[in-house]
Structure 1
């Protein structure tokens, strides 16, 4: 069944002369994509950046844009592709923070594009045995951190990263410079098909779009923008991978580069990034963990999880839960205060606390005070 809202969202991208920023401005002022198409010339002229020519173009092109959008959406439904407008909760949140992010993405896959940890891996198409070994090792090292791997489905480092992620059982996203109906290069179709059930394919390009040269730098901004950090494996001094690293750097994203042989042209780019402080050196996964503070996050999560285990309702009676909920907030409490805050009579509280103490969950302190212990 055709979704009316999706039709208006897609149609916005079919109006001539509207970039991503102006499109977002139109939606913000009008209230919704549908409202843009229902606006009058007078209303459009009140929007900053919309002059008479632009308003006329929007109104004159509305009908054909909507008709084209209907066809696109029908094809999307046939291919099980999700159009993700920037207001969709499924749209990558990390991209929403970037001014030149696409207003609409086409996604075919089964993974959450807002996964907690997302890393981009990019590099040369002429990968060496060193680059291949390093790429596979990096992916294997990242497995324990529940990472999603993003790359561009290209020859070389890209496909090695995707393949390693698939073998490790990790979700991996291929960001394409073409429409989702054109797998490029065609030799990677079998990997692309596997990714549909273990990650997915993502593009800003409508069906039928060919992977022309200018679309690759545009594709690279999505790769850089939707991840927490971009890792460059091997790259020449003038390469698309360095463009991706520069884009990530401009977005205030972290960049890591793998040091390489100083006699290898394919290490010139990565060594240059490190030398100019545009990237930190990647030698082990610990470099990434410390750069993104994953170790601190995991420690905090473990502490929270341990605390939550104390409050499993199936393990405690109602009075015990009341006491534990108070101690979770204060960590330590005097018995009379604890009785009042938990609404448990002092006569009953003594036995409740004794049971919790026997179980190693609370500790009695001098002055009739009790402290919650971490498991």
Structure 2
């Protein structure tokens, strides 16, 4: 039995202990197992925990451990993978999100940490305009081989999954329930295809139903897994706007497809663009340009070529990092004169290539 996983799952089963609090407990106690071994008096002294949360842990730990043991049996029986947030294989992009899950479950065959990841979201009442744009976008993005993330909902979500499969692009659906069921059930055929080139992802334990409050939680994972979030059609109060807002809070690039001012399913996208919360998206070239995915000219830096080719922008950041032992991302963006979102994207790329390492407090250092 994987003891570390057992105690991480058990911690998620303690009522009203969210992911931020759980990570704080693990950090102060030295591990998830240590949290359950601590006395109530010691737990109370941890900043931000207090008597109420300490009591919840003590009162519910036996029940939580039993539930976690049952969950381990379930995931083993159903060939489900589970990663703790401090596991080396955990999605690196999501690990940078303060409120990211402490355990993530998945089925299928894909790599969270592939070089390019795009989340595509939108209205459940997609028009032909939105569907056609989505289909063409994925045809055009195929040379970049991005991992496509969405939520398997009606409308834009399932369109994105289907078009990804049509173009032989890996695609994952983030669910708002446990992996013992599928909602909506009508999308089971698509979900089954995704298991062969992509898969399903959830932070919820088996038995969890697709309750209303789970969908905003699901949306933060859709945002956190990606480099960029693309909104293709949304009403004025669409759930996709939550995903876009989360993307902005995580320093992700957000793109929105504009529409006619008279179209109700474009009101949300037009508002995002108007409020400077999203880049106006007319074609895949906008994504290539903003994300720096355009073809790069040959590098002259022989030292960089010895281990990996760096773009001019990456080389600039790398040189700035070498000047000090460690540097804050804000200082790097200021010195390089890059937008924060672009700086974060470039740093993540270099981290994937094991050139730099991220540290607490948004600090980075050369490996």
Counterpart in the other structure of 1:38: 37
Q: How does 1:265-284 map to 2 (within 5 A)?
A: 265-284=264-283
Question: CA RMSD, aligned part only?
Answer: 2.2
Could you tell me the TM-score, scaled by structure 2's length?
A: 0.79
Instruction: Note closer, same or farther for the CA distance 1:29–1:300 as it changes in structure 2 (3 Å cut).
Output: farther
Counterpart in the other structure of 2:330: none
Tell me the alpha carbon deviations over residues 19-46 of structure 1, each in whole angstroms, 9 at most, x when there is no partner.
1111101111111111111222343233
Q: Distance between the aligned counterparts of 1:7 and 1:94, measured in 2?
A: 24
C-alpha displacement of 1:67: 1.0
Q: Distance between the aligned counterparts of 1:217 and 1:247, measured in 2?
A: 10
Counterpart in the other structure of 1:245: 244
Tell me the alpha carbon deviations over residues 76-133 of structure 1, each in whole angstroms, 9 at most, x when there is no partner.
1111111222112222211122222222221112111111110010111111111111
SS at match of 2:87: coil
Q: Distance between the aligned counterparts of 2:125 and 2:119, measured in 1?
A: 18
Tell me the alpha carbon deviations over residues 333-363 of structure 1, each in whole angstroms, 9 at most, x when there is no partner.
xxxxxxxxxxxxxxxxxxxxxxxxxxxxxxx
Structure 2 spans left out of the alignment, 5+ residues: 308-367
Q: Distance between the aligned counterparts of 1:305 and 1:110, measured in 2?
A: 36
2:157 corresponds to 1:158: yes
Q: Distance between the aligned counterparts of 2:302 and 2:281, measured in 1?
A: 30
Q: How does 1:252-331 map to 2 (within 5 A)?
A: 252-295=251-294, 298-299=296-297, 307=305
Aligned structure 1 segments of 4 or more residues deviating by more than 3 angstroms: 298-309
Tell me the alpha carbon deviations over residues 189-217 of structure 1, each in whole angstroms, 9 at most, x when there is no partner.
01111111211111111111111122111
Aligned length: 308
Counterpart in the other structure of 2:86: 87
Q: Distance between the aligned counterparts of 2:303 and 2:180, measured in 1?
A: 43
Counterpart in the other structure of 2:168: 169
Counterpart in the other structure of 2:185: 186
Counterpart in the other structure of 2:363: none
Q: Which has the larger radius of gyration?
A: 1
Deviates more, 1:47-56 or 1:129-138: 47-56
Instruction: Note closer, same or farther for the CA distance 1:295–1:33 as it changes in structure 2 (3 Å cut).
Output: same
Q: Distance between the aligned counterparts of 1:232 and 1:199, measured in 2?
A: 21
Q: Distance between the aligned counterparts of 2:257 and 2:6, measured in 1?
A: 44
Q: Distance between the aligned counterparts of 1:204 and 1:112, measured in 2?
A: 17
Q: Distance between the aligned counterparts of 1:274 and 1:62, measured in 2?
A: 47
SS at match of 2:294: helix
SS at match of 1:61: helix
Q: Distance between the aligned counterparts of 1:31 and 1:300, measured in 2?
A: 47
Structure 1 spans left out of the alignment, 5+ residues: 310-375
Q: Distance between the aligned counterparts of 2:260 and 2:225, measured in 1?
A: 30
2:198 corresponds to 1:199: yes
C-alpha displacement of 1:229: 0.8
C-alpha displacement of 1:279: 0.9
Maintained 8 Å contact 1:230/1:254: yes
